[in-house]
Structure 1
């Protein structure tokens, strides 16, 4: 039992080391006006773990920096879709 608690304590200490900052570019083809990026940025910024969002109308994309221990691409695309702008990872 002591080994179990020691292992769990070790995992709790090491786990934050596994977290990493990630950056993803999302394609947002549904943005049709210069005001759309404001709505998209607000929606993505509300996702826990997001540290930076740059949305450009001309490119119709969002470059998002986030903590992958707190969120992921699925949550980001769900946020844009919820705001009325479906997105996908841009290759």
Structure 2
């Protein structure tokens, strides 16, 4: 029984270790007021897998940390676009 529990714990650790977090910077050229970043942040934070987002009005960019097993850059771009702020990735 003890060996079974240890094996299950090891499997759980190995599965969670496979997921990677990534960071992407999005260009949001259509943000034109102080309220825009709030709308963009809410849209990004609703995407499953996003662990953190920071939206900056001054440089019209968003930095997003996300789990690549749960979402993708395309989904993040789609979320901002659906909120009214089309975005593109910045390398």
Q: TM-score, normalised by structure 1?
A: 0.82
Could you tell me how far apart the structure 2 residues matched to 1:90 and 1:13 are? 33
Deviation at 1:14, TM superposition (A): 4.4
Displaced runs of 4 or more, over 2 A: 11-18
CA RMSD of superposed structures (Å): 1.5
- The answer to whether structure 1 residue 77 and structure 2 residue 77 are counterparts is yes
Matched positions, count? 81
TM-score w.r.t. length of structure 2 = 0.82
Q: Which runs of 5+ in 1 are unaligned?
A: 1-10
> Cα deviations across residues 15-67 of structure 1 (Å, max 9, x unaligned)?
43321010000000000111100000000000000000000000100000000
